[in-house]
Amino acid sequence: MVGRQYVIGNWKMYKMAREAVQYIEKLVPLVERCEANIFLAVPFTAISACFQAAKNANILIGAQNMSDAKEGAFTGEIGSLMLKEAGASFILLGHSERRHVFGESDEFIHRKVIRALQDDLQPILCVGETLAEREAGETEKALKRQIFTALKQIPKEEAPKVILAYEPVWAIGTGKTASAKMAGDAHAFCRACLAEIFGKKIAGSIPILYGGSVKPDNTKELISQEDIDGVLVGGASLDPESFSKIVHHCEKKK
Catalytic residues: 95, 167
Please pick, from the candidates 88, 172, 183, 247, the single residue that binds ligand PEP as defined by CB under 6 A: 172
Q: Does residue 222 contact residue 246 with C-beta atoms inside 8 Å?
A: no
Give the separation between CA 112 and CA 173, rounded to whole angstroms: 24
Please pick, from the candidates 34, 223, 233, 250, the single residue that binds ligand PEP as defined by CB under 6 A: 233
Give the separation between CA 179 and CA 181, rounded to whole angstroms: 5
Q: Which of residues 43-102 bind ligand PEP (CB under 6 A)?
A: 95
Q: Which residues pair with 210 in a beta bridge?
A: 166, 231
If binding is defined by CB under 6 A, does position 131 make contact with ligand PEP? Answer: no
CB-nearer residue toward ligand PEP: 143 or 214: 214
Please pick, from the candidates 5, 6, 9, 10, the single residue that binds ligand PEP as defined by CB under 6 A: 10
CB-nearer residue toward ligand PEP: 59 or 198: 59
CB-nearer residue toward ligand PEP: 172 or 186: 172
Contacts of 194 (CB under 8 A, 6+ apart): 147, 151, 159, 164, 202, 203, 206, 208
Contact flags string 150-169 toward ligand PEP, x per CB under 6 A: -----------------x--
Give the separation between CA 120 and CA 90, rounded to whole angstroms: 9
Q: Does residue 209 contact residue 165 with C-beta atoms inside 8 Å?
A: yes
Shortest Cβ distance from residue 156 to ligand PEP (Å)? 28
Relative to beta strand 163-166, strand 6-10 is unpaired
CB-nearer residue toward ligand PEP: 212 or 240: 212
Give the separation between CA 254 and CA 50, rounded to whole angstroms: 27
Q: Which residues pair with 9 in a beta bridge?
A: 40, 233
CB-nearer residue toward ligand PEP: 123 or 212: 212
Shortest Cβ distance from residue 186 to ligand PEP (Å)? 14
Q: Does residue 29 contact residue 58 with C-beta atoms inside 8 Å?
A: no
Please pick, from the candidates 232, 246, 247, 250, the single residue that binds ligand PEP as defined by CB under 6 A: 232
DSSP 116: H
Shortest Cβ distance from residue 16 to ligand PEP (Å)? 19
Q: Which residues pair with 60 in a beta bridge?
A: 39
If binding is defined by CB under 6 A, does position 228 make contact with ligand PEP? Answer: no
* Minimal CB distance residue for ligand PEP: 234
Q: Which of residues 193-222 bind ligand PEP (CB under 6 A)?
A: 211-214
For ligand PEP, the binding residues (CB under 6 A) are 10, 95, 167, 172-173, 211-214, 232-236
